[in-house]
Structure 1
Amino acid sequence: MNIKKIVLSTIAAFSLFAVSATAANASTVTVKSGDTVAKIASAHNTSVAAIKQANRLSNVNMIYVGDKLEVGGTTTNTTAAKAATKTATTTTSTTATTTNTNDSSAKAWIAGKESGGSYTAANGNYYGKYQLTKSLLGGDLSAANQEKVANNYVASRYGSWDKAKAFWLANGWY
């Protein structure tokens, strides 16, 4: 298993999608599937650094569908961690309606392969039941956050836990 590939592939995947942000008002956009901070910045004649600063983003490669980003250079009081938690909760609710028994067993299977099912398993920068990066977890290593972030990651990257398991079987990682 090569966990580093997960992070690199995730970052690459985010950068390959087309921009589809819609303006909530003159200086705020709502992140849509496939958006990157660089593409949003380009579309709104601003810089990645300005968006990063205005939204207090710790990692510009970790934005989530539904996040509202200030693009006019004004500072927002909403932190990236709050937006990520809100988005992960929304994604979990959305995917819960489409989760089937196979997805549940695929999720358990991946957890078994990645960490033996342990929420405290550590491997360098990778942590927890699903061996996610600590930065992706936003510093919150709780079991509840690991579940939310893992569901969001799998939904955005693979669409389902079944598809994530199929990828794992083909590549030795997800």
Structure 2
Amino acid sequence: MKSLKTILLGATLTAGLAIFFGASNASADTLYTIKSGDTLSTISQQFKGDNSLINSIAQKNNVSDINMIYVGEQLTIPTDGQAVATTTTTTSQATTTAPAAAAQTTTQTAASTYTGTSSSAKEWIAQRESSGSYTATNGRYIGRYQLDSSYLNGDYSAANQERVADNYVAQRYGSWEAAQSFWMANGWY
């Protein structure tokens, strides 16, 4: 009986140590599928909150030109056990997202840094649409919020872009927070 207890205790301790030491070396790399408008910078922002992952992502995925990534391509994001997860709470009018505790995932993770104010949601969208540039163009989409040129009526000034973007978001979504939630779900607003 004593030897059985010794074997069980030894096996339990060994398993516990293996889990303990194995977990510290585990890497929770995340698989991410590139969407329209993504850059390595925006992907790094989503996962880390800054641009510190750009070179790591490029190196991990053998990306030779960090300015050339393609929609539909899958990237492995090196998160070193620090994958960012989000939790979603649905209210009767809108969906809000708040950062959750770091969690390991083996599937694609959608991450954001949502702070909950109109100005931060507006800036969040501007950064993803044009990196905040009033002069950015993408075909018929113009400026900081990548508005259809027909909405701007030939006036591409910063003041007009702000006014038109505010009207567009108010009419279509009701608030910048709702527009941000839609963007996070669809990759556009």
Indicate the TM-score class for this superposition, using the shorter chain for normalisation.
0.3 to 0.5
TM-score after normalising by structure 2: 0.39
Flag the structure with larger Rg.
Answer: 2
Structure number with the higher helix fraction is 1
TM-score after normalising by structure 1: 0.43
